[in-house]
Structure 1
Amino acid sequence: MMDFLDGMSTLQQSFWWVAMIASLIFIVQLIFTIIGTDLSDGLGADFHGDLDAVHGPFQLFSFRNLINFLMGFGWTGVAFYPSISNQMLLIGLAAAVGILFVVIFFVVIRQILKLTEDNTFNIDKLIGKSAEVYLRIPAARSGKGKVQVSLNGTSHELQAITETEEISSGTMVRIVRVDEKILIVEKI
């Protein structure tokens, strides 16, 4: 490996080393991400602070972004070294592409996060839905029964009351409102 780098200038060798090391770390990160584990940024501490809390999933100064920047920087320097003789211009271009890599990573992660779905159960979303009485519901709010209702493909068994006559098991009802986490239902 050293023979490969021997005939190169210090700048060109630097670009190669940065590109190879950053690419190796990137591949390790990618493998860990694919198999379901992940590398942390080493933000653990011996005190109770909020060191790793941010207001979003993207941290500008993270180990992953450093690797993305260095990979873009290194490979751009390697690729354009033969064609750009001005070293400052080459370093500036490599830095710009490194920043572009970080921005591209940000955009990709943001699009992936848009695909997430919130499956948190919210009882208020049941209003207007139909349900099946599971346990008899006594008349005129005199007691509670149970209904089975499906929301987002998940079946829920919840307490219910009615303001009208008794509703027997197996009857289909409509949920008209929610009162302190108890469904108010009426026959369909």
Structure 2
Amino acid sequence: MVLLSPNAWWEGLNAFTKVYWLITIPASLIFVIQMALLFFNADSKTETIKVYSAEAGITFKLFNFRNLIGFFTVFGWSGLACIDVGLSNEQIIIISLILGLVMMLSMAVVFFFLKKLMKSVKEGLE
């Protein structure tokens, strides 16, 4: 019976794949922790860059910690999937960047509209 060693697996990877794993594992762990904290309402306030202000008090926050972790998580996993398919390094990077940016933008849009909805509900209750 042959047991696979994590060291043997890691040594068998090329440098490009190792970089993707080094991005994916920490980003995924932080993403899972963030989701658990969000579920238990222990989300902390983070500094953000305000990109667009639609109405007073509601801002579109593209660059915050949650969105960056989402970017790196999708960037890493999509890159690893592309590596598994056998695409070239350039194609892998382009696809990973596009999918990561789509995830980042999607998360920002969802939270923007959730905050807008919460504000309208709060105003309706007053």
Which TM-score tier does this pair reach, normalised by the shorter chain?
Answer: 0.7 to 0.9
TM-score of the superposition, structure 1-length normalised? 0.53
Q: Is the contact between residue 84 and residue 90 of structure 1 (CA under 8 Å) also seen in structure 2?
A: no
Partner of 1:109: 111
Supply the distance in 1 between the matched residues of 2:109 and 2:61 (Cα, whole angstroms): 13
Q: Are 1:81 and 2:86 counterparts?
A: no
Deviations 1:32-69 (A, max 9, x none): 1111111333x4xxxxxxxx684434322211111011
Q: Is the contact between residue 61 and residue 108 of structure 2 (CA under 8 Å) also seen in structure 1?
A: no
Structure 1: state its 5+ residue gaps: 44-51, 122-188
Partner of 1:9: 14
Partner of 1:69: 71
Supply the distance in 2 between the matched residues of 1:84 and 1:39 (Cα, whole angstroms): 40
Q: Which has the larger radius of gyration?
A: 1
Greater fraction of residues in helix: 2
What are the residue-to-residue correspondences of 1:22-101 with 2, within 5 Å? 22-41=27-46, 43=47, 54=50, 55=53, 56-101=58-103
Structure 2: state its 5+ residue gaps: 1-5
Supply the distance in 1 between the matched residues of 2:97 and 2:16 (Cα, whole angstroms): 14
% identity of equivalent residues: 26
TM-score of the superposition, structure 2-length normalised? 0.75
Q: Is the contact between residue 29 and residue 39 of structure 1 (CA under 8 Å) also seen in structure 2?
A: no
Between the two proteins, the alignment pairs up a number of residues equal to: 112
Quote the offset at 1:22 in angstroms.
0.5
